[in-house]
A and B are shown apart, each in its own frame.
Chain A
């Protein structure tokens, strides 16, 4: 297999990471919504932490995207 084909296959495999990150982000928001419906009064105070959790989960998914971009355009 030549290098170019291997790079593109690797980039395609990196997209699996993006799909798994979607699970992570959905988990963060889902847990927040579930507990917010149990205790609506405390929900507004925790919004900051919700976005911190989202940013962390999203970043790791974006790292998979960066790997794909490096494989396609840099390596």
Chain B
């Protein structure tokens, strides 16, 4: 009877340099082409193909065109509802952000393990989601200061603040404001990493229980497998929701920068 293997759910997140580029460097910084970079390229290519296939101008759209139009219409509505006046100029950024994160999350769930390949969710690293969050936050700061100059700081003194609290409220508001990029990146990162760890642990249960014999295999393996199917469906939903929440919160922060309340 085989020894039950130790389940290592964190190995799937390891960053490996590919194609022998692990010593490639510019100015002392390693620029190896990693599996994370490969999946970013794959995401961009799939997204590009999706958009190209649907950017037709038929008056009565076919299915592909209708799919692309539903995505662009969804983001246009999101920016209109949440940024209000002057929101249209952010649609390209919010759209790229949303589609990139959505496709990244979904491509990491592909069942290509059937063909012996391993998908990689590059949004399961805080370095990547942190950079995306810093990007959104930088746009908020640049827009805020460009448009309002120093009056931007009136964001931290909400209307109707009583004078006897004027020493406390801006401090609380400032802390809450500075936490925004951190929470934005952390939310996406933890949602992705938690889902994949859970799936890997359940998969470990299926394999170890099947190796332990027929009875454990049926008693533990089959419910674990059914749970994996359910959790995978939930993960697809979470992938879409987390992409939507990232875009929604970025729009809300841009509303604050544009309209200062």
Contacts and interface: CB of A to CB of B under 8 A. Distances in A.
B143 interface: no
Contacts of B245: 51-52, 54-55
Interface footprint category on B: 10 to 19
Nearest to A59: B187
B186 A62 contact: yes
B249 interface: yes
Interface in B158-201: 183, 186-187, 190-191, 193-194
Contacts of B248: 48, 51-52, 55
A5 to B, nearest CB: 18
A58 to B, nearest CB: 7
Q: What's the dominant secondary structure at chain A's contact region?
A: helix
Contacts of A58: 187, 191
Given A52-B248, A73-B10, A62 B190 contact: yes
Contacts of A65: 190, 194
A62 B193 CA distance: 10
Interface residues of A, number: 13
A63 B194 CA distance: 11
A66 interface: yes
B82 A48 contact: yes
A51 B244 contact: yes
Contact of B186 (A51, A52, A59): A59
Contacts of A62: 186-187, 190-191, 194
A53 to B, nearest CB: 10
A63 B245 CA distance: 17
Interface in B1-31: 10
Nearest to B241: A51
Nearest to B77: A48
A52 to B, nearest CB: 7
A7 B137 CA distance: 34
Nearest to B245: A55
Contacts of B252: 52
Looking at B78, B190, B252, which has the most chain A CB atoms within 10 Å of its CB? B190
Given A63-B190, A73-B10, 20 more contacts: A48-B78, A48-B82, A51-B241, A51-B244, A51-B248, A52-B245, A52-B248, A54-B241, A55-B249, A58-B187, A58-B191, A59-B183, A59-B187, A62-B187, A62-B190, A62-B191, A62-B194, A63-B186, A65-B194, A69-B193
Interface of B: 10, 78, 81-82, 183, 186-187, 190-191, 193-194, 241, 244-245, 248-249, 252
21 contacts: A48-B78, A48-B82, A48-B248, A51-B244, A52-B248, A54-B241, A55-B245, A55-B248, A55-B249, A58-B187, A58-B191, A59-B183, A62-B187, A62-B190, A62-B191, A62-B194, A63-B190, A65-B190, A65-B194, A66-B190, A69-B193
